[in-house]
Structure 1
């Protein structure tokens, strides 16, 4: 009888050891911007036809970024919008139609923001928790209206004007000139030259010791984002 029990235990042990090991889930690396040199690269007006290429570049470099999405373009490329989040980047509301907000009435501003919130959530399953006014055009009234939908305003410490430059060497030079600790740089993923030169930019920024992080990660070290507030 004892021999039968021992044999059964050995068989069970062998069966367990033959089971495939479960995959190990690695927790996402958290960057502490109070301890390291952080920089937030932000891209407006997408998702566009060049955004997937940019996402591949960022993934290869292990860099995170923030994308301020236009609703009309999210409707055209919902899968790309979803891919942005899947790769660990942050998203923000850039209005539905890329409207100049100060020129609108209060209810029109709300429509631009609310409709885009719904469009982005439909595509990605996530509602943005920040917005950027198109062209950087804003005022106290716009900020007050955005507060009604709990969206803090994100501007920038430097803009590349890449939409105007349209030159890879010039765009790279401007980014490297604007780079600073805890800085927020404005670019556009709809500008092909920006996407083309991004591998070179990321390589150089890493050499300079920068960690490319999302805006929320950058702001975590400063107490987080608060609605009704304009940052940078």
Structure 2
């Protein structure tokens, strides 16, 4: 909790430093697609999708890698790196960024590569300061867009800036979402230096949830070094659901195993 509190304090002091750069004009959201047609398309891209993995984090040293605020201009490169190393992660996406991704190419590729998707709100406001109607919009609109684009119904969310309370948790639960916070904050928005980002992320121990942002080029550059260090430590990078051995329970809050 102390790590989370420090992260939130630094964010506030920095004037909400992780606020993503949003495209000035949003593309029209992609047209709805049939989930069965999407599954066939994804299977053609990667035979056997989705590929089940035998990961037991009760006995393996698992670390959940998470990336917020995308998809963005560096997400494709990150996906290339993760695919080359056969690594899976969880991407907490912004509805506004998904809408700006023409054709939904990146978010569909995230799914096709076996990664996990999470809801990070529509446009990154502190959810605790919103009226009920606006809070509901932030979660519901993002969930519905992602499901329309990918056929995937997201089951978890991360509140922007980690700002949450009982009202946010209750609304997340009504939307069928668990709240996922973190135990390791790389502060990659504050110190955009690959070596620093990799060093902070490398402090993760078994059961950790690592917070990063795929909208920063320097973060993507840090990933190969991070993966090398985790491998030397005998740690397996996993998705959030793999870390817990199940889909997190709606309405509950998780900070690491």
**TM norm. shorter chain > 0.5:** yes
Query: Which of 221, 225, 230 is matched with 2:248 structurally?
Result: 225
Deviation at 1:29, TM superposition (A): 2.4
CA RMSD, Structure 1 to Structure 2 (Å)? 1.6
* Partner-residue secondary structure (3-state), 1:200: helix
CA contact (8 A) 1:159 1:186 kept: yes
Match of 1:8 in 2: none
1:107 aligns with 2:133: yes
Instruction: Provide the residue aligned with 2:98 in structure 1.
Output: 74
The residue that corresponds to 1:129 in the other structure is 155
Structure 2: gaps (5+ residues) = 1-46
In structure 2, distance between residues paired with 1:90 and 1:121: 13
The SS at the match of 2:69 is: strand
Paired residues for 1:91-170 under 5 Å: 91-170=117-196
TM-score (normalizing by structure 2): 0.77
Asked whether the 8 Å contact 2:50–2:112 carries over to 1, the reply is: no
TM-score scaled by length of structure 1 = 0.86
d(CA) in 2 for partners of 1:183 and 1:99?
A: 26
1:188 partnered with 2:224: no
How many residues are matched? 207
- Aligned counterparts of 2:185 and 2:200: Cα–Cα separation in 1: 8
The reply to whether residue 214 of structure 1 matches residue 239 of structure 2 is yes
Q: Which runs of 4+ in 1 moved over 2 A?
A: 23-29
Query: How far apart, CA to CA, are the structure 2 residues paired with 1:148 and 1:116?
Result: 14
Deviation at 1:226, TM superposition (A): 1.1
The aligned counterpart of 2:78 is 54
Match of 2:199 in 1: 173
CA shift at 1:27, angstroms?
Answer: 5.2
* Bigger mean CA deviation after superposition, 80-89 or 142-151: 142-151
